Amino acid sequence: MAKPKKKKSAGKKKSGAKKKKAGARKKVAPRKAAGKKKAARKKKAAPKKKTTAKKKATGKRAKAKKKRPTSSADEMAEKQRDISVSEFFAKNRHLLGFDNPSKALLTTVKEGVDNALDACEEAGVVPEIRIEIQQLAESRFRVALEDNGPGIVREQVPKIFGRLLYGSKFHRLRQSRGQQGIGISAAGMYGLLTTGKPVKILTKTGKRKQAHEFELVIDTQKNKPQVKRDVVVKWPKHHGTRVEIELEGHYRGGQHSVDNYIRQISLANPHAQITYVPPVAEEHGAEHVFPRVTKKLPAHTDEIQPHPYGIELGVLMQMFRDTESRNLASCLRNDFSRVSPRVAAEICERAGISPKRRPGEMRREEADSIYKAIKQTRIMSPPTDCIAPIGEDLILAALKAEVKADFYSAVTRRPTIYRGNPFLVEVGLAYGGEMHSDDSALLYRYANRVPLQYQQGACAITRAVSATNWKSYLVQHPKGALPVGPLLVMVHIASVWVPFTSESKDAVAQYPEIIKEFRFALQECGRKMTTYLRKQKRAAEEAKKAAYIEKYIPQVAIGLQEILSLGDRETGKLTHKLTDVLERSRKL
């Protein structure tokens, strides 16, 4: 009975502990309830704050929308104005070849040399050109270009060097290096933008004439020159021009260097003597002279009229409005090349228009009929006396002066046309010698005797060389790339209007007619090279056979001497006869 009593006391203790805990919970419960009430009040108050914040935000947005500025048509019309050519190119100078400091230095030299060569050839003077590059600071250079050309008339100096799109070559169809009238003035503008210094020009037109020195800048907003200085000075030269431009640039070596450009331009212009003074003395000394190979100037090129096949409808209508001819037949004869009286009459007959019709009064429908009739009429190709190729002999001489090779070849194709413009293609090729057999072929691209240094991948010349099957000419050729081997390829296009891909004149546009001519010229040179390589291979095999003969015939003679018991004299005769027989059989 004692044990149950103990259990009851233990149960009482447990129940008492439970009651105490319940009492504690009851005491804490009112506090929790109060806390919950406060949280509920805060929750009720919070949405009110959010709504007010939203109202403020929408109010600010509404105010912002109200404050947004607007312009009327009249206000927008007041802001519109003409954009100067020089102002446009000042902001887009990469279009002219002034992308970076190193390319800007090269472009400046290139434009000056092109102008000097054109001026000398047009005046009938054998060119002597001096190029000086002086480094003034880490990224600042002074470029000086001097020639012995005819000089520049005083009144024309500010216009030539202080205006973009001003020149004498744009409106004529005749082979020349410059075309657009932008180059040298753009170089001066770049120098002004990067250094703030004016262009300095010294020119003299004759032995008894005064030499004039100018300093001028370009007003880019008006595309007009501002002459800062114009004085008469003494200059010992009889005639010529010297231009100095200070600019921001970078001098470096390699494929796209000024040094490489000058070496390449001396190859394509063997009649010119070029003296080059680099900013850093080279192994040749303070100055490097590239002597002329010949004193004979390139053949004179004549200006021609546009060919009818290269004219578009809008241009044809403009020509009809501007012509001085009184009737349609005379306009076709006088304003176009290769249009005889018979061809003009045939065009008018096909178009159903009277040959006596006044060109200035023709409607668009009539001009369209003439345009279609021209396409249906057979007209001779344009004359080619407007083009002056380098020539196979001079290309070979230039290649031999450039590299020591085992084989040289050159081809000048017959002239043909694209879009009515005459052009011809020349290719020079050198193989073997000191060139490395594991490297890609060296490719020299030229347009009107001017080296093309940049945008090689975008050029029609590169495409034609890469598309040629060089494996058939016994040269390694990765697909879609230049051939691999000890090979130098020089490609030149001469035309009255070279179709460049941009104003910087770095690559030739990929017209199918031009690529076709490139390919034909490359294939012709390749066939000549294949003939040479096969002859070399046969000669090597014959030399190998001759070595075998010289090695084994004495042994055969000794064996015969032992078998036949021959004397030394008879053995010598036998050796001689065997050698003679084997030599004759080898030649057969």
pLDDT of residue 283: 65
Query: What predicted TM-score, i.e. pTM, was given to this entire model?
Result: 0.72
CB contact at 8 A, 238 and 93:
no
Task: Quote the pLDDT of residue 99.
Answer: 82
* Domains of the chain with bracketed CATH: 87-290 (3.30.565.10), 308-376 (1.10.8.50), 392-527 (3.30.230.10), 534-587 (no CATH)
- pLDDT score recorded for residue 55: 53
8 Å CB contact between 495 and 423: yes
501 touches 460 (CB < 8 A): no
**Separation of alpha carbons 433 and 399, rounded Å:** 12
Over residues 379-402, the pLDDT tens digits come to 887 877 788 888 898 889 888 888
Residue 3: what pLDDT?
A: 45
**CA 166 to mean position of chain CA atoms:** 22
29-34 contact pairs (CB < 8 A, 24+): none
Cβ-based burial of 533 (10 A; exposed 0-12, middle 13-18, buried ≥19): middle
Contact call for residues 417 and 423 (beta carbons, < 8 A): yes
Cα–Cα distance, 97 to 504 (Å, whole number): 5
pLDDT tens profile 521-550: 999 999 999 998 888 888 777 777 777 667
- CA gap 230, 246 in Å, rounded: 18
* Cβ neighbours for 397, distance < 8 A, ≥ 6 positions apart: 270, 293, 294
Of 582, 470, 586, whose CA–CA distance to 539 is shortest?
586
Low-confidence ranges of the chain (pLDDT < 50): 1-15, 17-22, 24, 26-29, 48-50
**Alpha carbon 83 to its chain's center:** 27
> For 313-350, what is each residue's pLDDT tens digit?
898 999 999 898 999 999 999 999 889 999 999 999 99
Q: Which two structure tokens, joined as six digits, stand for 194?
A: 């990067």
- Given a contact cutoff of 8 angstroms between Cβ atoms, the answer to whether 408 and 399 are in contact is yes
Check: CB of residue 246 under 8 Å from CB of residue 254.
Answer: no
What pLDDT does 228 receive? 92
pLDDT at 370: 93
